[in-house]
A and B are shown apart, each in its own frame.
Chain A
Amino acid sequence: MTLMLASSGSALSGPVTLGDVALSVSLVAVAVAISAWQRLGLEADMTVATVRSFVQLIAVGYILSYIFNGHGWLTVLAVAVMVGVASLTSRSRAKRVPWSGAIALAAIATATVATLGVLAVLRIVPTSARAIIPLGSMIISGAMNTTSLVMSRLRDDFASNRREIEARLSLAQTSRQASRPWLRSALRSGMLPSVDSTKVVGLVALPGAMTGMILAGASPLAAVRVQLVVMYMLLGGTAFAALVAGHLTTGRLFTDSHQLVKSVRRVP
Chain B
Amino acid sequence: MALEPRFEYRDVRVNGDGGPIVTGFCAVIPPEGLTVIVGPSGAGKTTLLRLLNRLDDPDDGVVLFEGRDVRQYDALELRRRVQLVGQTPVTFPGTVADNVGGDTGALLARVGLDPSLAAREADRLSVGEAQRMALARSLALAPEVLALDEPTSALDVVNKAGIEQLVRELADSGLTVVMVSHDPRHAELADHVIEVHPLNREEP
Contact = CB atoms under 8 A, between A and B. Distances in A.
Interface of A: 163-164, 166-174, 257-260, 265-266, 268
A259 B57 contact: yes
Interface string B108-151: 00000000000000000000000000100110010000000000
5 contacts: A164-B92, A170-B53, A171-B79, A257-B57, A258-B76
B86 interface: yes
A131 to B, nearest CB: 47
Interface residues on B, range: 20 to 34
Contacts of A258: 75-76, 79
A258 B55 CA distance: 8
B55 A266 contact: no
Contacts of A260: 55
Nearest to B86: A167
A174 B76 CA distance: 7
B188 to A, nearest CB: 28
A222 B86 CA distance: 62
Interface of B: 16-17, 53-57, 71, 75-77, 79-80, 83-86, 88, 90, 92, 134, 137-138, 141, 204
Q: Which of A167, A173, A259 has the most CB of B within 10 A?
A: A167
Nearest to B84: A170
Contacts of B54: 257, 259
A174 B74 CA distance: 11
A214 to B, nearest CB: 49
A147 B88 CA distance: 34
A233 B172 CA distance: 64
A163 B76 contact: no
B179 to A, nearest CB: 15
A163 B56 contact: no
A164 B88 CA distance: 10
